[in-house]
Every structure is written in structure tokens, then in C-alpha cells.
Amino acid sequence: MSKTTTSLLVQGYEVVIGFETHAQLATQSKIFSRAATAFGAEPNTQACAVDLALPGTLPVMNREAVACAIRFGLAVGSHVAERSVFARKNYFYPDLPKGYQISQFEIPVVQGGAVSFFLGDEKKTVRLVRAHLEEDAGKSLHEDFIGQSGIDLNRAGTPLLEIVTEPDIRSSAEAVAYAKELHKIVTWIGICDGNMQEGSFRCDANVSVRKPGQPLGTRREIKNLNSFKFMQQAIDYEVRWQIEQIEDGHAIQQATVLFDPDSGETRAMRTKEDAADYRYFPDPDLPPLVIARDWVAQVQAAMPELPRAMAERFVAQYGLPEYDATTLTQSPAMAAYFETAAQASGQAKMASNWVMGEVSRRLNAEERGIAEAPVSAAQLGALLQRIADGTVSNNAAKQVMDALWSGEGASGQVQDARAQIDAVIEAKGLKQVSDSGAIEKIIDEVMAANAEMVAQFRAGKDKAFNALVGQVMKASKGKANPQQVNDLLRQKLG
């Protein structure tokens, strides 16, 4: 167990959670056949003779699935095994035509490693036991048939990477933070599309409770958690249920349970099998998987900068707070957008604030990703430059953003981002007045018209100063440079 993990007690009990996550690998074909893996096809239209387990068929390893496993191993600091073995995991299920699933048991392809993430300000690390390659089973369909079930074998043979942790997680919040970080890693390195609704990223949580210092309790496995919201609800319910059972004098039985989002409860599906129940043995149709070290080196050379490393660089290079750096590295697209805007403007913190604020707010309202933002990163950078050099105020810049977002000023006649921004500022008359002579004239007029406020300020009432600043800004229609207004007004008030 992790010695660095801080325990949070629930009703005097320590919560212990381990995770098993199935990430569907982003290959064009299945792990042991050439059948397609695209989602949403008509039932049984993407299942070939190998997937159907017809007599005489033999599995052939998909090289790209192995490359995906290597990428993952490198991303989480694991050992990529020089030699790993495929096994037959034997069990009966109607959507498993062979009567066994090809998986890895004793020698997995990825061994060890860790996933680190922040929960609030606290850094957490969850150790990994392994990640192994396996094939998915088909799917039983119940809702379209009265008193019967249909079998769709489109998923049979879909390549999966099963990622297994040590029991290092101590709360539902920590579990969700781990799952989100893992989701970010597999999508960032391009091995999984991460679509939880389509089943591309499915989590199983092994949950148990114990009194502090006691041996591990009996775990129950919550299967197929396909949203972060349901994940937290399911774990919280399961923890409360187990504590109530123990307090009432009942022993916890090892079981596989499902979460019902409608009732918010978990319910037992079957007693939990142990490894011995599956009668694993090496698959005689597949030789050991041997991975040359130069292949690992080639994959390493092509790896992108990882999110945690990029966040640390953003802190060091741009002076960003840890929170900003972590938020901006949620996806490669967001990180690239920020970095382009920061470099174009020379205003890293301002770029961070705008990407996390104005840009994200608008995208969220329209349910769009940052790749679909109507305002380019270069345009944002040019706009931030104009705030920094005093051409426009922050409020005026938001009006420029409104115009660009709705398609104004994005004409193909003006290609340069800075020229586009300047054209919108000019067209809308948003240029900030920084001419001290012009500002002084407005201040003189405001002071003459508000003699009582001037007297109040000189009598020691600071609120009157803010009121006078407001009057000057109003008289200038918001165009006066606020800092200059403050400085010149204080001079004139003595």
C-alpha cells in the first residue's frame, strides 16, 4: 500500500480503492483479426470468421495495438516487457463465441508505473500493477426483444488495454481525479478516443473498508462506470453500504456489483470470481510477444510532451500558477492554443486568464471544443497585445472578442491577426484615449460639474474619488485610459 497516501476516515473507517480500467485502443482493425472497430455499425456487420470463432480460424496479432501499449508504458514510467505471453481466460457467456477470452495473465506487456495528479493543492500518486492487452467480448442486447436476448458480435475482438492499480486510492474524490488523469493520458498520447458513452473508456472500482491499521477488507467490484459523476456516486454509496453492513454485524461477501443511476444504488450481479476460476493457460495459437528495445526507442522518440511535464514547463517558462498550468494542459489543443496566444502577446498570465475565462466560457455555452473556437490563438494574442499597450481597455477587448466570435472582422481580405484586431477596434471606435491633454480636459469638466464630490474627497472621503473616476469614465464613454484617469485626477485634486 502507498505510504504517502493521506487517509480520510468515513465514520471511523478507512476507504481502500483499486481501479481496473479498460481503454479501447485506437486501431483501425481488431486485435487478432482484420475486422473494423468503428462504433455504431449495424449488429454483426463488423465480425469476421476469427471473431465468430469459426473452426480453423487463427488469431494474428495487431502490431498497432502493441505500439499503443508501448506508448502507454512509456507515458506512465512502466517497464515494457521484452517478452510477454497471451493466455486463454475461460468462462461461458453467450456473447463469447470461443468460450474463452484472449488476455494476458502471468506476464503482461506493461509492468509497474504510476499516475500522478493533483487533488486540490495536494499531489497524489497511484501506483500501477500492470497494463495488459486483451480482446473485448461481444454484447448481449435485451431491450429490443421480448423474452429473448440478441447477440451483437461487433465488439468481439476489439483491442483493449486493461490498466490495473494498486489499492492506493482513499476516497471517491481521489478515485475520480485518478480516472480523469488516466483519461487525459490515454487521449493525449492518442491510444484511445476516451469516449465513455461509447464504452471506449470503462472503469471498474474495487472498493473495501477497514478500521485503520487493520488488514484489507473484503472488496466488491463496481463494474462499467462510464461517467465521472456516476463513478463518485457509486463509490460513495458502496462505502456507506459496506460500513452499515459491518456495523450491523454482517460480513462483506466478495461480489461484482452494478450501479443503478436511477436509484443511486449498487446491487450485486454475481459472486466475484478469482483467477483460479478462469483456468488461465497460455494460448497455444499465439507465440510469446517479443518487443525489441529499438522498437521501444523508436516509439519513445515519437512521443509527444506529456501533460504533467508540459504543466511543469508552463510553470517554469511562463511563471504560471500550478492551477493554471494543470487546467491549460487538459488537452493538447488547449495547451497549444494558450502557448500560441502567450507567445504572440508576450503576456502569459493574461493569456492564461483569457483562455480559462472568456474563451472557455463561450465554448462551454456553445458545447464546442477549443479546436472549434471562432477566434484563433493568434487573434487572441494580438488582442492581448492591444490591452497591454493601452490601445484598448479590458472591457473594450471583450467587445472586440464578441465581434470576432460572431464573425465580424474575420474577412479573408485581412490575413494578419494584428491587422484584423486593429480593424475591429477602429470600426467599433473602441480605441482607448491615452492623450493626457484630452483626459485632463474631461477631468476639468467633471470636477467643475461635481464640486460637492471634490469637496468631500478633500475632506477625507475616499469614496468620492471613485465616484469622480466613474464620472470621468462615463464622460469619456469608457475610452479614457483608467490608470491615466486615476493619476491625473489625483494630481488635480492635490
pLDDT per residue over 353-411, tens digit each? 999 999 999 999 999 999 999 999 999 999 999 999 888 888 889 999 999 999 876 54
pLDDT over 50 (residue 3): no
Structural domains of the chain, count: 3
Last residue of a domain, one of 266, 297, 328: 297
- Closest by CA to 175, choosing from 251, 231, 259, is 231
Indicate the pairing of strand 281-282 with strand 265-271: unpaired
pLDDT of residue 2: 39
Q: Could you tell me if residue 6 is inside a domain?
A: no
pLDDT of residue 472: 80
Q: Could you tell me if residue 3 is inside a domain?
A: no
Give the mean model confidence (pLDDT) for residues 461-470: 81
Q: Could you tell me if residue 456 is inside a domain?
A: yes
pLDDT of residue 434: 66
- Closest by CA to 469, choosing from 484, 459, 455, 448, is 484
Asked if residues 228 and 218 have their Cβ atoms less than 8 Å apart, the reply is no
Q: Could you tell me if residue 326 is inside a domain?
A: yes
Placement of cell 493574461 in the chain: 350
Residues 156, 80 within the same domain? yes
pLDDT over 80 (residue 324): yes
pLDDT over 50 (residue 5): no
Q: Place 435 in a pLDDT band, splitting at 50, 70 and 90.
A: low
Residues 364, 422 within the same domain? yes
pLDDT of residue 409: 64
Residues 346, 399 within the same domain? yes
339-363 confidence digits (pLDDT tens): 999 999 999 999 999 999 999 999 9
Q: Domain of residue 326: give its range.
A: 305-428
Asked if residues 130 and 108 have their Cβ atoms less than 8 Å apart, the reply is yes
pLDDT of residue 493: 78
Residues 122, 235 within the same domain? yes
pLDDT of residue 7: 58
pLDDT over 70 (residue 414): no
Would you call 165 helix, strand, or coil by DSSP?
Answer: strand
Residues 351, 264 within the same domain? no
Q: Could you tell me if residue 4 is inside a domain?
A: no
Residues 290, 324 within the same domain? no
Here the contacts of 459-465 (C-beta below 8 Å, separation 24 or greater) are 465/489, 465/490, 465/493
pLDDT of residue 275: 66
Residues 97, 138 within the same domain? yes
CATH code, domain carrying 469? 1.10.10.410
Q: Could you tell me if residue 42 is inside a domain?
A: yes
Last residue of a domain, one of 243, 269, 297: 297
- Side-chain-facing half-sphere of 151: CA atoms under 13 Å: 12
Q: Could you tell me if residue 370 is inside a domain?
A: yes
d(CA 350, CA 338): 10
Residues 411, 469 within the same domain? no
Residues 270, 361 within the same domain? no
Last residue of a domain, one of 410, 428, 446: 428
260-313 confidence digits (pLDDT tens): 999 999 998 877 667 678 899 999 999 999 999 999 999 999 999 999 999 999
Supply 342's cell numbers.
502567450
Percent of residues, the chain, with pLDDT higher than 70: 96
pLDDT of residue 410: 54
Percent of residues, the chain, with pLDDT higher than 90: 72
107-155 confidence digits (pLDDT tens): 999 999 999 998 988 889 999 999 999 999 999 988 878 889 999 999 9
pLDDT of residue 1: 39
Q: Place 253 in a pLDDT band, splitting at 50, 70 and 90.
A: very high
Placement of cell 472500482 in the chain: 205
Q: Could you tell me if residue 362 is inside a domain?
A: yes
Residues 221, 361 within the same domain? no
Work out the mean pLDDT of the chain and round it to a whole number.
91
Residues 249, 145 within the same domain? yes
Residues 474, 381 within the same domain? no
